[in-house]
Amino acid sequence: MMHFIQSRRHFMVMTGAGLAAAPWVAGCATAEGAALPAKAIGRPWPDWGELPDSPPPAPKEGSVGVAVVALGGYAIGKVMPALAASDRCHLAAVVSGNPDKAAKVAAAYGLPEDAIYSYDNFDQIAGDDRIEAVYIVLPTGLHAEWTEKAFAAGKHVMCEKPMALSSEECERMIAASEAAGKKLMIGYRCHFEPFNLRAMELMRDGAIGPIRMIDTAHQYMMGPTNVSENWRVVRALAGGGPLEDYGLYSLQAALYLTGEMPVSLKAATKKPANDPRFEQIFSTLTAELTFPSGAVTQLATSYNAPDSKNMIHVEGETGTLHMSPATSYDGQKMTLTRNGVSEDLVPGDPNVQFARMCDHFGQAVREGTTILTPGEMGLRDVRLMEAIYRSAAEGREIRL
C-alpha cells in the first residue's frame, strides 16, 4: 500500500496530473503586435559563447548524432561544448537562420558544409542519417512548432526549458513524440548538477527534518531593451517573462526538494508603466505555494530587481539548507545547518551538468532507458505556471 501511495505521489509530482489548463497563458502565446516576428529568423552573433580553438575528437562509438537548432547564446555557450564533452551524444549538424554564423560554428566544430541546415530546408534532415536527434534551443515560443517538425522528420528531441508557452502546446509535443515513437526530453540541467542532486538527496533523507518553508528567488536587473531587439520581452516568444525564463528554477526546486505537488497557490505580478522592457511582459512575479505536508514556498522572480539573486533557502524542523548561487552554470554554494552547526558542502563540479544531461539523453535514445526530465515534467511545470498566472490575473488563491 505504501508503495502504491509513493508511486502515485511520484506520478502526480512528475506529471502534474490534476492541474487544469488556464486560458490566460494560451492568450499569452498570441502576439500582441510584437515587433519581433514569432517565426524563426536568424540573429547576429550572441553576446556570449566562445567557439573551440580546434574541433572536438571523433565521437565515441554508438554516440547519438544531434542537430542543434538555433545558434544563440545558450547553444554556442553551453549546448555545443556539452555535446563535445558527452560520451553518448555529439554535434552532427547545425540549423540556423544566419548562414555566416552557421558556417563559422560548423567550421569550429569540424562539421562538413552539408551538415548546415536553415529553417527553410530543415525538413531535409529526415534523410540525413548522421542526425538521430534534434536539440531545440530556439526562443520558447518556437519550441512546440520545431519539436513537432523534428518528430515529423523521424528524430528524437531534446527541448530547452521551458518546454513551451502553454499546456496545449506541451500536449501537442508529447503526442507528436508518441506518434513518432521517439524520445522527448526537456533540458532541465539541475537534475544532473551535483549540488542540486545532493540537495534532493538530503531532503529525501530528512537531513533537516520535515520541510516547513522554502524561500527562493531568481532575479536580476535586465538592461535597457525593447520588443524589437530582444525576444525575452516579446510575449509571443517569452510568455509572461521572468517566471518562464528564470523563476522556473525556483518552481522546479520547490517540487524536487519537497517531492510534492502544491495543493494551492496565490500569486501577484508587476508591470511598470512606460518601460519599453515591460511593454508586453511582467517585470516581477511573486507566488506562495502550499504543499500537502504543510510546507510553504515563497517564490520571487524578476527582470527588474536591483539585487541579483539565484537562491534557495530551505527551513526544516531541525535545520536549514541554503544554496546561493543555487542553480547557476557554476560557482554553486551550499550550506547545511543542523543543531546550530553549519557545514559547507561541495558535492562536485557544477560544470558537469551539461554533458551529463546529454549523456542521459544519448543513453535513453540508444538503450531506451527512462528519461528523468521527460515532456510530462515540462507539461507539469507549464500547467503550474498557468495556474500561477491565473491566480495573479484573478487576484485569488487557486486550489489545485
Position 187 contacts ligand NDP (CB under 6 A): yes
Coil vs helix vs strand at 151:
helix
User: Considering CB under 6 A, how many residues would be counted as binding ligand NDP?
Assistant: 27
- Find the part of the chain contacting ligand NDP (CB under 6 A) among 36-44, 178-186, 198-206, 288-296: 36-44
Residue of 189, 191, 277, 356 that binds ligand NDP (CB under 6 A): 189
Interactions with ligand NDP, residue window 80-99 (CB under 6 A): 96-98
Position 70 contacts ligand NDP (CB under 6 A): yes
Percentage helix, strand, coil, to 5, in the chain? 40, 20, 40
Q: Report the residue number, 19 or 138, with the smaller CB distance to ligand NDP.
A: 138
Residue 29: how many CB atoms within 10 A of its CB?
19
- Find the part of the chain contacting ligand NDP (CB under 6 A) among 32-40, 55-63, 211-219, 387-395: 32-40
**How far is Cα 179 from Cα 368, in angstroms, rounded to an integer?**
16
Of the candidates 287, 282, 302, the one whose C-alpha atom is nearest the C-alpha of residue 255 is 287
Q: Does the annotation mark 249 as catalytic?
A: yes
Position 28 contacts ligand NDP (CB under 6 A): no
Q: From the CB of 189, what's the least distance to ligand NDP, in Å?
A: 5
Position 145 contacts ligand NDP (CB under 6 A): no
- Mask 334-363, x = binds ligand NDP (CB under 6 A)? ------------------------------
- Mask 242-261, x = binds ligand NDP (CB under 6 A)? ---x----------------
**How far is Cα 303 from Cα 248, in angstroms, rounded to an integer?**
13
Residue nearest to ligand NDP (CB): 72
**How far is Cα 60 from Cα 69, in angstroms, rounded to an integer?**
22
DSSP notation for 49-104: -PPPSSPPPPPPTTPEEEEEE--SHHIIIIIHHHHHH-SSEEEEEEE-S-HHHHHH
Q: Report the residue number, 17 or 107, with the smaller CB distance to ligand NDP.
A: 107
Name the β-bridge partners of 214.
297, 314
Q: Report the residue number, 116 or 295, with the smaller CB distance to ligand NDP.
A: 116
Position 379 contacts ligand NDP (CB under 6 A): no
Q: Report the residue number, 96 or 391, with the smaller CB distance to ligand NDP.
A: 96
Position 139 contacts ligand NDP (CB under 6 A): yes
**How far is Cα 133 from Cα 363, in angstroms, rounded to an integer?**
12
**How far is Cα 173 from Cα 207, in angstroms, rounded to an integer?**
38
Q: Report the residue number, 63 or 96, with the smaller CB distance to ligand NDP.
A: 96
- Find the part of the chain contacting ligand NDP (CB under 6 A) among 6-14, 134-142, 149-157, 334-342: 134-142
Interactions with ligand NDP, residue window 222-241 (CB under 6 A): 231
Active-site pick, 101, 149, 161, 183: 161
Q: From the CB of 71, what's the least distance to ligand NDP, in Å?
A: 3
Position 372 contacts ligand NDP (CB under 6 A): no
What are 271's three cell numbers?
Answer: 508591470
Which class for 278: exposed (0-12), middle (13-18), buried (19 or more C-beta within 10 A)?
buried
Q: Report the residue number, 97 or 348, with the smaller CB distance to ligand NDP.
A: 97
Q: Does the annotation mark 161 as catalytic?
A: yes
The radius of gyration computed from the CA coordinates of the chain, to the nearest angstrom, equals 21
Cβ–Cβ under 8 Å, residues 324 and 312: yes
Provide the 8-state DSSP code for 127: G
Can you say whether the dihedral through the CA atoms of 388, 389, 393, 398 is positive or negative?
negative
**How far is Cα 27 from Cα 337, in angstroms, rounded to an integer?**
44
Can you say whether the dihedral through the CA atoms of 248, 251, 257, 263 is positive or negative?
negative
Active-site pick, 135, 188, 246, 249: 249
Position 161 contacts ligand NDP (CB under 6 A): yes
Catalytic residue ranges? 161, 249
- Positions touching ligand NDP (CB under 6 A) are 36-37, 40-43, 46, 70-75, 96-98, 101, 137-140, 160-161, 187, 189, 231, 245
